[in-house]
Structure 1
């Protein structure tokens, strides 16, 4: 018996159970056969589309927009059903308690059936994530937000007081389908008119040619003091099958060449000094280093020749690098810029009050600005999207940081 058969059968049983349970809400809510039929038909179509996509998925092609859409539609119908199940299960517990009391007291009153208003509440609550996912797939992934910070440092050279940085991350060009929307995002980056633009990795999903149709868009990015970049975990081509090892090596070189084509100085465990009025700050970039991911980055190599007293900005794609290595390093990296998490592309954020995403159960620093002992890390939520073809509550981000002399 194939190893995958038992997990597949268990998954099918789980799906049937979920569908049967949520269908009870529709039965109670409406006796209209068309509504009931539509509920069943849509679910069947989405599940079939996902399973067919999964079965025919070819890892040598990488993760295509078609695969992402199949995943997105599956989540769009599944998450709301979990909400329905939670509400109905709560009522079932209540009904079970009443039944137990009746048995204990000897009452013979029949147990009340599923109440219509409970089904209405369940479906009403489920409509919120359903609408959110639909919006996230259609428009949310293009809902670019400019987030601005002003950071003060005692050891910032006077000449860099007011120096501005625009950080972008996680382009994932292989997921893009709408050139007009992406052009809007690029124009928004240029409107910030920052001194430098820093890109913190994942320019593609897997293959260099994913960027071919977008070179003429991203080469329009402008910054008077330069554009600098690093690699992310997806840039190494590790998440697809290659016909032979040389193809992967060639692809990796082409990915690195993309940065030059769009005018970025790619830092591969290297540093550059940015100079103004005879003063300077160090800009360092490491290859990807992530806990549980590719750990190609060499911080010591990137810092070779950099002094402890130098003001330093480090670009490192994965924020776990800061948590595990950077923040306690005696060389003192004042500001680290990362991405990688995307904030899972779904969550709830109320600026200044509340921020939640399942991403926080994996990464201690998962979105936004964090500070420990005077050392900062900004985790950019990403410009593009991957796996799920949308964003729900966690919007694509353009970060603008102004450095100030304390």
Structure 2
């Protein structure tokens, strides 16, 4: 308990310091008590609501919608204020310099007050950019579904699958959903792609199976003529909540697995299926979650039993670190791997063909999009839903469409 008290005290001191320095910018540019009061009151309301949610949320409940929402508001006000702090703390250093200079030459520092006002305006102007972005991300960005299309060429692709199209979705996180109309739009967008095969790469729920109860009828309308298949993600195991008994956790885990056939997906648990077309076939392999630093239940060798090395293989594995550490250099040759998990951290900057950045890249080497090494591909889907932060900023929810093309072997 004493450890948590120390953590709370440190956190409170940091918050106070951030708020104090950020408030200096407002003080510098206006003496209007109403504006100053709104600034202070909004912070008090958000921090107060955060404390209230922590107090009323059961310790074993995990990240509830209320917790996600208030955490989103915390980030929305704190990140812009950190930008302001960077300016105002630097200005305080100048103020110390100003004080020392005034002892030498009182008339030499007359323009420092104007500099402070100027810097405060710049700081507030820059802070408005992430503030507006986070507000948009919470209100609209989390539903800003994008269809990303890729055409991948393989020399060893069976001829019958030339032009075969796959829709990949990932990270539904149904426990975060609040708007049925928006989610229905996303589901309809998936169906509009009219592809041959549909693959879901894990994290159906945040923690508990009943999070899908209100969404089963919607998601079971997804269709693909060559089938719908799925694997589990780290959140599907129920590892992030406190269960009364181990039996309750196992019961929930089984219930999560039982949801997949209810929405028409065949769940692959360290196993494979052959997709056949015109007398030819490709191997679809699905493993349980395997991730560096996460649950490592997946068994790739077991899933690949009775699959030939010469078969064209599509591997479904939730966490892209599996590809990085076990798959990409495997001599068994998994030509195409589909993953999710990272969400691209739900925030970043992507200008196609020019620039990509997200904090996620400091955690995962393959954090979003398509990658190729050793002649093998992985696509890391940015996720259909959202988790923790109730929004998306620059990293939009994704539906991936991959068209397989037959390549000509080089002489």
TM-score category by the smaller chain? Answer: over 0.9
**Hey, what does 2:237 align to over in structure 1?**
236
User: Deviation at 1:99?
Assistant: 6.1
Q: In structure 1, what is the equivalent of residue 6 of structure 2?
A: 6
The 3-state SS of whatever aligns with 1:254 is helix
Per the TM alignment, residue 7 of structure 1 is displaced from its structure 2 partner at its CA by 1.5
In terms of mean alpha carbon deviation, does 360-369 or 91-100 score higher?
A: 91-100
Q: How does 1:121-136 map to 2 (within 5 A)?
A: 121-136=122-137
Shift in Å at residue 59 of structure 1? 3.6
Matches within 5 A, 1:325-364: 325-364=326-365
1:95 Cα deviation after fit: 5.0
* Equivalent residue runs for 1:71-110 within 5 Å: 71-94=71-94, 106-109=104-107
Per-residue deviation at 1:83? 1.1
RMSD of aligned C-alpha atoms? 1.4
Task: Quote the offset at 1:93 in angstroms.
Answer: 4.3
Segments of 5+ residues of structure 2 without an aligned counterpart are: none
Q: Does residue 120 of the first structure (1) align with residue 121 of the second (2)? A: yes
Measure the CA separation in 1 of the matches of 2:167 and 2:30.
52
TM-score (norm 1): 0.97
The CA distance in 1 between the partners of 2:60 and 2:119, in whole Å, is 48
1:142 corresponding residue in structure 2: 143
Instruction: Map Cα deviations across residues 276-326 of structure 1 (whole Å, 9 max, x no partner).
Output: 111110000000000000000000000001111110000000000000100
- 1:98 deviates by 6.1
Take 1:59 and 1:296, find their aligned partners in 2: how far apart are those partners?
26
**What is the correspondence of 1:227-306 to structure 2 with a 5 Å cutoff?**
227-306=228-307
Give deviations 1:145-181, integer Å, cap 9, x for gaps.
Answer: 0000000000000000000000000000000000000
Look up the match of 1:380.
381
- Cα deviation 1:169-207 (Å, max 9, x = unaligned): 000000000000000000000000010110000000000
Task: Give 1:65's aligned residue.
Answer: 65
- 2:393 corresponds in structure 1 to 392
Aligned residues: 404
Task: Provide the secondary structure at the position in 2 that maps to 1:274.
Answer: strand
Is 1:371 aligned with 2:368? no
Give the TM-score normalised by the residue count of structure 2: 0.96
What is the alpha-carbon distance in structure 2 between the residues aligned to residue 329 and residue 57 of structure 1? 45
Distance, in Å, in 2 between the alignment partners of 1:368 and 1:94 is 45
> 8 Å contact 1:200–1:317 — kept in the other structure?
yes
Deviation at 1:265, TM superposition (A): 0.6
Match of 1:152 in 2: 153
CA contact (8 A) 2:329 2:374 kept: no
The structural deviation recorded for 1:61 is 2.6
**How far 1:94 sits from its partner (Å)?**
4.8
Judge which range, 24-33 or 225-234, deviates more: 24-33
- Distance in 2 (CA, whole Å) between partners of 1:286 and 1:335 is 14
**In structure 2, C-alpha distance between the alignment counterparts of 1:110 and 1:38, rounded to whole Å:** 36
CA contact (8 A) 2:171 2:340 kept: yes
| Cα pair 1:62 1:207 within 8 Å, conserved | no
Gapped runs of 5+ residues in structure 1?
none
